[in-house]
Amino acid sequence: MIRAFFALTLPDTALDQIERLQAAIPFGRAAPAENLHLTLAFLGEVSPETLEAAHEAAETLAPPPFALELRGLVHLGRQPGGVIASGVVPEPRLDGLAKSLRSRLAGTGIQLPRERFRPHVTLIRLRQDDADDATLARILGRHADFRAGPIPVTGLSLFRSYLGGDSARHEELARYSFDP
């Protein structure tokens, strides 16, 4: 089985802005630059046949290019301890892209986790005892004016994720470019 997800990648300017922010947060494990992405759809563990169906579904997407901006920090809690992520300035074309991708995937019979789309870029992974609630709230408040971008969205990527070690490794399996 192959652990896979669709995501947007970030340009170097945004990666630099993120790296400066990560350096200013004194706890947790900063996600390495090559792991920074905005997930559009997480497939989970899928068979090679399902991955191929997902690939074909993504090839039919043709949204107009647009740009995004990251804004502010949030604490999200999928793993114990959670993560610090940046939020995204609301952008209907991003929601539309995630919706079209997910409905195309569903159309091929792929079952996605039921979580609603909550655009974010995970920046720091936390262990349970890395920071107490008050410290976390203080740090989020201190960096509430964090901004990164613009992030041109000219395509998306299909990634394979290898777990293990200190942080997952991601391999780009395919890139889907949108025509200007």
Residue 167 contacts ligand 2AM per CB under 6 A: no
**C-beta closer to ligand 2AM: residue 42 or 66:** 42
153/110 Cα distance (integer angstroms): 25
113 binds ligand 2AM (CB under 6 A): yes
Q: Provide DSSP, 4-41.
A: EEEEE---HHHHHHHHHHHHT--SSEEPPGGG--EEEE
In 3D, which of 17, 54, 49 has the Cα closest to residue 36?
Answer: 17
Size of the site for ligand 2AM (CB under 6 A): 7
Shortest Å, Cβ 115 to ligand 2AM: 6
Binder to ligand 2AM among 15, 19, 42, 140 (CB under 6 A)?
42
* Of 157 and 161, CB closest to ligand 2AM: 161
d(CA 151, CA 129): 33
Phi, psi dihedral angles at 109 (to 5 degrees): 90, 5
**Which residue lies nearer to ligand 2AM by CB, 42 or 178?**
42
Active site residues: 37, 120
By CB under 6 A, residue 50 contacts ligand 2AM: no
Please give the structure tokens belonging to residue 12.
């170097």
86 is a site residue for ligand 2AM (CB under 6 A): no
Among 9, 50, 86, 122, binds ligand 2AM (CB under 6 A): 122
Burial class (CB in 10 A: 0-12, 13-18, 19+), 151: buried
Backbone angles phi, psi at 177, to 5 degrees: -95, 140
Cβ proximity to ligand 2AM: between 9 and 122 the closer is 122
Residues lying near ligand 2AM in the complex (CB under 6 A) are found at: 5, 39, 42, 83, 113, 122, 161
